[in-house]
Structure 1
Amino acid sequence: MGNGTSRDGFHVNFTKKEEERLQRRFQKASGGAEKATIPYLLQYNEIKSPFAARAMQMFDQDGDGSLTLEQFKQAVDLLGNLTSQDQRAEYLFKYIDLDGSGTISLEELAHVLPGQDHPVGSQQLHEVVANLIAAFDLDGDGELSGSEFRAMLDASMSAPE
């Protein structure tokens, strides 16, 4: 893989062929515009990772719900480097732990759960998140530790559809 660095110092590692493929996919999703919306990027690139949308949101520097080609490449590179479930779970835990305390609070989990068109109202969301935390909070501190969070993820991945 080749090495490239964006202006913010995030390393992007793609071969020339991979780079060209990403550029073509980006152009298709953006319709030739400078930016493409995250939903279009996910759709046109057939990205199935449950972490993809959140990873892309991390690189959306202006918060408008769209990415430049460089931001898109950074997100794809990040996703490609999260190869195991453990790495993905650790990344997601750190992403949700907004204050860096090593635990996930009700407020932090509620902050990341609703999407832009979330059907659940704020009071209902609060209740759902409180129940979710209570179900996996084994030590009773009202927050999820790393292992409690991983147990929650494992349970959600093994739940029948």
Structure 2
Amino acid sequence: MAAAQIAKKLKDRRQRQTLVEIFKKIDKEGNGYISLSDYFNIFTEHEIDLSENEYKRVLGMAGPDGIIRKDDFIKIIRSSPYFFGIFDKNKDGVVTETEMTTRAELAFKALDKDNSGYISEKELTKLSSRLTDEDMGVILKKFDVDGDGKLSFEEFRMMLDRNASKKKKNNKK
């Protein structure tokens, strides 16, 4: 009996720690709170439609100013079977940062071989063997918004989002 309680406490502590890390990742300014749109964007980034019930539930749990503080974020997540149903991929009752990683983040990490936080033109060539160096140069020039000769994660995600939009458009024709 005591062992089961200890295991549950460890699992709860591990889950809280993971949720704090996820919150920090969303709270880009580091001000201790996120907006409702930041929260809903979690689902958008994973291409998941939020159910109307979950949307209303979160609206009701957020502060009257539409702000979600860290502890509120943890309460919202912990009380959401919807969230766990989507993100707890191995069904162990704990949502990990890995389970919350988007396809774009996985692709970016796979290409960023030197873990610099950027994708260089050389690393970008690993994207496809069918594209020439000239093609890669054009892609880099088009999506390298700040002109530093490499793609940040945001620039890379913009490139993927644009590609996904084109595919959706072509599939509707």
| Greater gyration radius | 2
Larger fraction in helix: 2
Task: Answer whether TM exceeds 0.5 for this pair.
Answer: no
Q: TM-score, normalised by structure 1?
A: 0.41
Higher relative contact order (CA 8 A, sep 6+): 2
